[in-house]
Amino acid sequence: MSFLRTPQGAGIALIVLASFTFAALDTSTKHAVTFVPLLMLLWFRYAFQAVLTFVLRFPVQKRRLFSTPNPRFQALRGVLLLTSSGCAFFGLQHLPVGEFTAMVMLSPLLATALAAWLLKDHVSRLRWLVMAAGLLGVLLVVRPNGQVFSWALLFPMLLVVTNAGFQVLTSRLSGEENPYTTHFYTGLVGALVMTPFMFFNWHTSALIEHWPWFVLIGFLATFGHLMLIRAYSKTAAPVLMPYIYTQVAFAMLGGWIAFRHIPDHLAWLGIAVIAASGVGNALLSVREIRKNNV
Question: Is there a contact between 37 and 201 (Cβ–Cβ < 8 Å)?
Answer: yes
In tens, the pLDDT along 33-52 reads: 999 999 999 999 999 999 99
Virtual CA dihedral for 108, 114, 115, 117, nearest 10 degrees? 160
Give the residue among 50, 59, 76 at the shortest CA–CA distance from 221: 50
Do the Cβ atoms of 104 and 167 come closer than 8 Å? no
pLDDT, average across residues 15-23? 92
Confirm whether pTM is higher than 0.85: no
Per-residue pLDDT tens over the stretch 254-293 = 988 998 888 888 888 888 887 888 778 777 766 766 676 6
Beta-carbon contacts of 16 under 8 Å, excluding residues fewer than 6 positions away, are 243, 246
Considering the chain, what is the average pLDDT of its residues? Answer: 84
Q: Is 208 exposed, middle or buried (0-12, 13-18, 19+ CB in 10 A)?
A: exposed
User: How far is 142 from 149, CA to CA, in rounded Å?
Assistant: 5
Residues with Cβ within 8 Å of 286's Cβ and at least 6 positions away in sequence, in order, are 238, 239
User: What is the arithmetic mean of pLDDT over 220-224?
Assistant: 94
pLDDT, average across residues 202-224? 94
State the pLDDT at residue 1: 47
Averaged over 186-200, what is the pLDDT?
Answer: 92
| Higher per-residue pLDDT: 43 or 240 | 43
Q: What pLDDT sits at residue 120?
A: 63
- Domain map (residue ranges) of the chain: 3-293
Q: What is the pLDDT of residue 231?
A: 83
Q: What is the pLDDT of residue 289?
A: 64
How large a percentage of the chain has pLDDT more than 70? 86
